[in-house]
Amino acid sequence: MSNPALTTASVALDPTFENVWDELLWRGLVHVSTDQEALRALLAGDPITYYCGFDPTAPSLHLGNLVQLLTLRRIQLAGHKPLGLVGGSTGLIGDPRPTAERTLNTRETVEEWVQRLRAQVERFLSFEGDNAARMVNNLDWTAPMSAIDFLREIGKHYRVGTMLKKDAVAARLNSEAGISYTEFSYQILQGMDFLELYRQYGCVLQTGGSDQWGNLTSGTDLIHRVEGVSAHAIGTPLITNSDGTKFGKSEGNAVWLDAEMCSPYRMYQFWLSTADADVIERLKVFTFLTRAEIEEYAALVESEPFRRAAQKRLALEVCATVHGLDATAAVIAASEALFGQGDLSELDAATLRTALDELPNATVAVGTPVVEALVATGLVASASEARRAIAQGGVTLDGVKVADDDATVQGTLPGGVSVLRRGKKTLAGVFIG
């Protein structure tokens, strides 16, 4: 379902900034970096090659990775050449987590996930023009190397004392789990990646999350020691909510970029629920809206917060970036219709079903009394409570007020489903089975 009136911001840099570095700073995307003046000059000069790596430790990227993907794209829009690295070798190891060892995945699983992540990364970059992106896999240069060669050519340049001071390593050393030599060596592997990309492509900049700073500087230090040149790194901030809760988590699950793991409807609702205190910073990081446009939304948050204009625009922009405009239009139509602002019968069947999957729901037989369906979905606690709600005129079925206790569920909406509403905002899905 497509809404011809639905438009999103152009994927472009804000022309009011003299340099992409200045825009990155304004958007709050630089938490830590190597020399800032050198970076500003580097990004303002001739095209450079830069990279960001993504490890296949899951079958999909998530919202934390989206920060990196959009940062890669912004720098490419300034004329620079991105390398998207998917870690076929580092994914076999996994970077150290703060508390415990990772479970090592099979080679077959990692290989499958490499392909899935590669396809996701490719959607965010341009592979045309003078600064076309290139995808690389660190397994290509790691697999042929023997352990002896690795120790002699790479390990020789690392000092254990320095490695022990890295935040991720130090945290694990102080935990009950300790750290294996395998995960301890991860920073060397990532450093080797940067060196190899410098040698093959002249790559002089790596971006990543600030929690990866030890791994990022592993590469800059190695290049300096081995090649005698300066390379650079940018660590983006870890996104957290203003109330201190972890960003990108929904009921304990990451908000994935894969539509099969996180439906477009769920992603749209996630952004729509952004707190007023967070929404402007989210617009800066996750959209291509200009500074002037974002300042307008900041004023609306102050003057008319009840309209949630900034949240609606944020949800539109990010959902369209990840899933496309057509899928987003269908999601918006479903969201509006479910809450009484559209015709449920005109919705796309697949989108409606995925939306109902996110609501309390139950599967019942065709012809089941509404009273029973209300109890089955958990909208009421008992049949007597259901009858009272109906008598008070507070129950609708498929957008139509239920007039009496004899009403039944028929699954008349697209895809053979029904929607129950109690009051104005309490919804449940009913599947016919």
Say if residue 104 is in the same domain as residue 66.
yes
Residue 267, domain CATH: 1.10.240.10
The radius of gyration of the chain's CA atoms, rounded to the nearest angstrom, is 25
Residue 68, domain CATH: 3.40.50.620
pTM to 2 decimal places: 0.91
Q: What is d(CA 119, CA 133) in angstroms, rounded to the nearest whole number?
A: 13
Sign of CA dihedral 120, 125, 129, 130: negative
Residue 38 counted as domain residue: yes
Residue 19 counted as domain residue: no
- Can you give the pLDDT at residue 2? 40
Residue 363, domain CATH: 3.10.290.10
Say if residue 163 is in the same domain as residue 143.
yes
Amino acid identity of residue 344, one-letter, is: L
H or E stretch including 183?
helix 181-184
Say if residue 250 is in the same domain as residue 282.
yes
- Can you give the pLDDT at residue 371? 96
Say if residue 135 is in the same domain as residue 201.
yes
Residue 290, pLDDT > 60, answer: yes
Q: How does residue 282 score in pLDDT terms, banded at 50, 70 and 90?
A: very high
Residue 15, pLDDT > 90, answer: yes
- Can you give the pLDDT at residue 254? 81
Given 357, 383, 398, the domain boundary residue is 357
Residue 6 counted as domain residue: no
- Can you give the pLDDT at residue 5? 59
Residue 367, pLDDT > 50, answer: yes
Amino acid identity of residue 296, one-letter, is: E
Average pLDDT over residues 136-142: 97
How would you classify the pairing of strands 32-33 and 232-236? antiparallel
Residue 22 counted as domain residue: no
Say if residue 246 is in the same domain as residue 232.
no
Across all residues in the chain, what is the average pLDDT?
A: 93
- Can you give the pLDDT at residue 252? 57
Average pLDDT over residues 87-104: 87
38-52, 100-114, 251-265, range with greatest mean pLDDT? 38-52
Say if residue 217 is in the same domain as residue 244.
no
Say if residue 146 is in the same domain as residue 275.
no
Residue 167, pLDDT > 60, answer: yes
Say if residue 209 is in the same domain as residue 276.
no
Cα 425 from chain centroid? Answer: 28
- Among 176-185, 227-236, 355-364, the range scoring the smallest mean pLDDT is 176-185
Say if residue 352 is in the same domain as residue 363.
no
Residue 9 counted as domain residue: no
Residue 8, pLDDT > 60, answer: yes
Say if residue 38 is in the same domain as residue 113.
yes
Average pLDDT over residues 171-188: 88
Helices and strands counted in the chain (H then E): 19, 13
- Among 95-109, 299-313, 376-390, the range scoring the smallest mean pLDDT is 95-109
Given 191, 216, 236, the domain boundary residue is 236
Which residues touch 255 (CB under 8 Å, ≥6 apart)? 62, 63, 248, 249, 262, 266, 267, 270
Which runs of E-coded beta strand occur in 226-339?
232-236, 249-250, 253-254
The structural domain count of the chain equals: 3
Residue 131, pLDDT > 80, answer: yes
Residue 3, pLDDT > 90, answer: no
Q: Which of 305, 253, 316 is nearest to 282 (CA)?
A: 316
- Can you give the pLDDT at residue 173? 86
Average pLDDT over residues 170-174: 85
Q: What is the extent of the structural domain holding 308?
A: 240-357
Residue 7 counted as domain residue: no
Given 186, 215, 236, the domain boundary residue is 236
Residue 168, pLDDT > 50, answer: yes
Say if residue 68 is in the same domain as residue 202.
yes
Average pLDDT over residues 4-25: 91
- Can you give the pLDDT at residue 4? 43
Say if residue 52 is in the same domain as residue 95.
yes
